[in-house]
């Protein structure tokens, strides 16, 4: 019997007319002697705005045996890879003047106070995600991916003397280099799977409502014929997810095109927010699964967001209910929003945990931070921030339960510790004074 041994490069692409589809990690991509090596780590940072109802977020007990609070309930299935960190502060976001929202969002991953300006002379600090991307990107097509669920095109003065860019993004490649966060699912899909060398052909394909997978069918057949059964199953499952996401995009675009002249750029943001949010989180999953990027930032809501959430029983604007004045009814509404945001991230975690990869799962090889730049949103306080660390980080992170740091410990101390766990070692970030112990 002849045994065929196929070895594929990690950067193997299925190419077709206007398409370039990266593949998930396969056994055929790992030489036998190297299979014990862990897959590359991914880092993700999820931001929620307007603070949290801290009484419904922070656990009362410390350690692993704490009782899940209402807002943390969605993370219950991931307790073995979850650490809730309390006591952290971003003092650089504090100021007696106006603009607390702009400062909170900009300082969150940098520990650097942004320059107060309404003009183009913006200045802030390089953020943790971009520090990580410099080392973790490797040969990935995208060094990092920046996603958002709200538009990033606000201009002018948004928050008492601060330019809108400070609320449009929380990812900064350098002190004067904010990165645009993409909120259009079609644009994200094209970045992940479109072949930039043949954009005109891809536009024709979109207009004809054809799947990108149609153009790679022949190449896909040749590849699968030479793979082992386990790899064939992985490829089939992965491409099913890609097709499902694309199908949802096309249906959305079809409905919108029926009532709106879309011109050359297809509209692809579903009108139903829950449908839209889950589509964007599926794109985040595919970005990691295809190894298109290993670092991402995801703005679930921008500071001062006025979005309503009628589908969970909150018809009020988010920013309005975040100023709850300790009134039980308004705190309950804010808690519903906070819990819903956590549930969106939990959906991604569940999918990653269910995806085998290397010697474990995708979640075992990821390190994620979920949180906000304000603690008590009613008081605009950048202290006692709501923060949750999630994922296995290739064995470097084990869930500690509830870790209570010394009050007002700089959040960048946590940032340094997270970078260490991802194998990215720097001496100082922003206002850091050392590394957070116990994480």
Asked if residue 166 and residue 104 are part of one domain, the reply reads yes
Residue 108: give its domain's CATH number. 3.40.720.10
Asked if residue 388 and residue 326 are part of one domain, the reply reads yes
Looking at the domain assignment, is residue 332 inside a domain? yes
Asked if residue 199 and residue 177 are part of one domain, the reply reads no
Q: What is the mean pLDDT of each run of 10 residues along the chain (439 residues)?
A: 58 80 86 60 98 97 96 98 98 89 97 94 98 95 97 74 94 97 95 71 52 80 84 90 91 68 60 96 97 97 95 97 96 98 98 94 98 96 97 97 97 98 98 97
Looking at the domain assignment, is residue 1 inside a domain? no
> Which of 320, 186, 188 is CA-nearest to residue 253?
186
Residue 224: predicted pLDDT: 78
Asked if residue 408 and residue 393 are part of one domain, the reply reads yes
Looking at the domain assignment, is residue 145 inside a domain? yes
Looking at the domain assignment, is residue 3 inside a domain? no
- 387 φ, ψ (degrees, to nearest 5): -140, 135
Domain extent at residue 78: 42-183+270-439
Number of domains in the chain: 2
Q: How far apart are CA 417 and CA 419, in angstroms?
A: 5
Asked if residue 295 and residue 241 are part of one domain, the reply reads no
Asked if residue 143 and residue 100 are part of one domain, the reply reads yes
Looking at the domain assignment, is residue 2 inside a domain? no
Looking at the domain assignment, is residue 197 inside a domain? yes
Asked if residue 164 and residue 47 are part of one domain, the reply reads yes
Residue 265: predicted pLDDT: 46
Against a cut of 0.85, is the pTM above it? yes
Q: How far apart are CA 171 and CA 146, in angstroms?
A: 8
């Amino acid at each position: 019997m002849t045994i065929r041994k196929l070895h594929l490069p990690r950067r193997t692409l299925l190419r077709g007319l206007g398409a370039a589809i990266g593949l998930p990690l396969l056994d055929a991509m790992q030489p036998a002697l190297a299979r014990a090596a862990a897959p590359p780590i991914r880092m993700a940072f999820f931001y929620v705005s307007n603070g949290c109802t801290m009484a419904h977020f922070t656990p009362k007990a410390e350690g692993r045996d704490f009782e899940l609070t209402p807002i943390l309930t969605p993370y219950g299935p991931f307790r073995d890879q979850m650490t809730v960190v309390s006591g952290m502060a971003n003092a650089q976001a504090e100021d007696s003047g106006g603009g607390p929202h702009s400062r909170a969002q900009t300082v969150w991953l940098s520990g650097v106070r942004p320059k107060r300006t309404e003009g183009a002379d913006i200045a802030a600090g390089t953020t943790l995600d971009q520090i990580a991307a410099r080392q973790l990107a490797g040969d990935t097509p995208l060094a990092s991916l920046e996603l958002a669920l709200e538009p990033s095109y606000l201009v002018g003065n948004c928050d008492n003397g601060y330019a809108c860019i400070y609320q449009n993004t929380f990812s900064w490649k350098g002190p004067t280099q904010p990165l645009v966060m993409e909120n259009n699912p079609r644009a994200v899909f094209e970045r992940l799977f479109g072949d930039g060398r043949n954009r005109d052909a891809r536009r024709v394909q979109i207009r004809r409502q054809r799947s990108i997978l149609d153009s790679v069918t022949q190449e896909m057949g040749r590849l699968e014929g030479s793979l082992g059964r386990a790899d064939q199953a992985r490829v089939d499952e992965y491409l099913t997810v890609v097709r499902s996401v694309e199908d949802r995009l096309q249906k959305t675009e079809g409905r919108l095109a029926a009532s709106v002249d879309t011109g050359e750029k297809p509209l692809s943001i579903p009108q139903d927010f829950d449908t839209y949010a889950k589509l964007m989180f599926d794109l985040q999953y595919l970005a990691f699964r295809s190894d298109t990027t290993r670092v991402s930032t995801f703005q679930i809501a921008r500071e001062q967001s006025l979005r309503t959430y009628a589908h969970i029983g909150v018809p009020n604007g988010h920013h309005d209910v975040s100023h709850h004045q300790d009134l039980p009814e308004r705190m309950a509404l804010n808690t519903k929003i906070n819990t819903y945001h956590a549930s969106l991230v939990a959906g991604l975690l569940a999918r990653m945990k269910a995806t085998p990869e290397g010697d474990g799962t995708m979640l075992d090889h990821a390190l994620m931070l979920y949180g906000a730049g304000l603690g008590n949103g009613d008081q605009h306080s950048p202290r006692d921030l709501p923060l949750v660390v999630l994922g296995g980080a290739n064995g470097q992170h084990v869930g500690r339960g509830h870790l209570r740091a010394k009050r007002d410990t700089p959040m960048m101390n946590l940032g340094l510790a997270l970078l260490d766990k991802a194998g990215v070692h720097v001496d100082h970030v922003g206002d850091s004074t050392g590394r957070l112990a116990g994480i």
